[in-house]
Amino acid sequence: MLPKTTRAAVYEGGGTIAVVDVPLPDVAPGELLVRISACGICPGETVRWYVDGKAPFGLGHEPVAIIEACGAGAAPARPWGKPFSPGERVFVHHHAPCMRCRRCLRGDYVQCAAWRSAKLLPGGMAQFAIVPADNVSFDVLRIPEDVGDETATLVEPLATVIKSIRRSGMRRNDRVLVIGLGVMGLLHVAVARHQGAEFVLGADRIASRLERALQLGAHAALDVSSAPLPEQVFAATDGEGADIVIVGPGTREALDAAAASVAPGGTIVVFSPLAPGESWPLPVHEFFFKDVSVVASYSAGPSDTRAALKLLAGGLNVRPLVTHRFGLEAVAEAYRLVAEAQEALKVVVYPGAR
């Protein structure tokens, strides 16, 4: 018998997370009912202005799941494969584009109206979830046997990094600076090295994260508490600066550091937003004469999740990133650790664990 309810983590607002019983609708044509095996915590779900603006809502959008039931016709859109079957292990993207509108045809999947409205019910931080038909068609991926659950929880975050690096225009032999070495910054370090960056710098103020960046391939790790970051960057790059600067923290301080560290002809990637109403005074005069580009990179689409899964299946070293594991009933503590942004990197919740 299929479940009619599920335990799920719900953000209620004001910093409060509750684990409650949530009703599950019947599985409609084209949909899937999945049992969540593991779900990673996205650091974005600890940003108060962001989550309070959406509350209440079901948490979690980095799930690995087992298919429990399939609605009629539940299958990847052609040419991506055969119909889904119960028992298959899958990555489920919480958003999916329509693949038909002008935005999708341009490859701007995250700007598609359907993409922005799609979501899992109740969310990935639950024992069970319903996957909408469009998500099933365009961004549910079968996981190879040799890719474990913890590794697979990184498909969605890694996809956003792959998109970010693509939008940066990074070329082989570029010098890359990653500001902020949480899990997303460390993934940028790993992907930049994998794609042939000549010199990768990681910058943070937490010693354990600087050490982890070196483990993942950074050529140098810069402690921003020891000296101004631009000074350290120019000292490490023969006075030229970084060709690509990835800005992880959503702060003006980080953006200012990027502006002062970027090389002539370089690109700054804004990977996290400022709070609503907050602005960054762009040094247009300097950027104009230095030919500096500034691009934003928000989330990821189906082509990016496929590239991420391929990279993980190919052996990209992400094992050092998972630092903590919790059961669903302890999910509030898991989110607290991520929000502290200290020793915790990728925190994985196992909804079926006691």
Binned at pLDDT 50, 70 and 90, residue 352 comes out as: confident
**Model confidence pLDDT, tens digit, residues 184-214:** 999 999 999 999 999 999 999 999 999 999 9
Binned at pLDDT 50, 70 and 90, residue 1 comes out as: confident
Residue 72: per-residue pLDDT: 95
Binned at pLDDT 50, 70 and 90, residue 118 comes out as: confident
**Model confidence pLDDT, tens digit, residues 301-329:** 999 999 999 999 999 989 899 999 999 99
User: What is d(CA 90, CA 88) in angstroms, rounded to the nearest whole number?
Assistant: 6
CA distances for 328 relative to 10, 36, 78, 216, 267, angstroms: 11, 11, 36, 29, 40
- Mean pLDDT score of the chain: 96
The class level of CATH for 159-296 reads: alpha beta
Sheet holding 199-204, edge to edge: 220-223, 199-204, 175-179, 242-247, 262-270, 293-296
> Residue 208 is encoded by which pair of tokens?
């354990």
Residue 232: per-residue pLDDT: 98
Residue 354: per-residue pLDDT: 55
Structural domain boundaries of the chain?
A: 5-154+318-350, 159-296
**Model confidence pLDDT, tens digit, residues 285-299:** 999 999 999 999 999
User: Would 5-154+318-350 and 159-296 be classified into the same CATH topology?
Assistant: no
Q: Which residues pair with 327 in a beta bridge?
A: 350
Range 5-154+318-350: architecture per CATH = Alpha-Beta Complex (3.90)
